[in-house]
Amino acid sequence: MHCALQVHIEEARLRFDMAIGKIPPLTDLEILEHLREFAQEVQEEERLQNEQNLITVVSDSISSIVLFTLISQVREIHTTCA
């Protein structure tokens, strides 16, 4: 949904820029081609962000497991010594 909204906003921006003369008039085919390329860029950015999020989750999980293991070992050592 987020990607579709970005593409819709890009289309509105394009049409607005054409209306105020900021960019030359584009045909519907040119607009569609631009939006297709824009959508592919947004999709790639989203994929990279998802990949980074997954790496973060895995890293945090591993850190949590290591921390839990260390705390358990420290408690075990303290109960054995007491």
pLDDT at 13: 97
Q: What percent of the chain has pLDDT over 70?
A: 98
Tell me: pLDDT of 75 over 80.
yes
Tell me: pLDDT of 78 over 90.
no
Which alpha helices (H) appear in the chain, and where do they start and end?
Answer: 2-19, 28-81
Q: Show the tokens assigned to 47.
A: 């994929």
Q: 43, 3 in Cβ contact below 8 A?
A: yes
Model confidence, pTM: 0.72
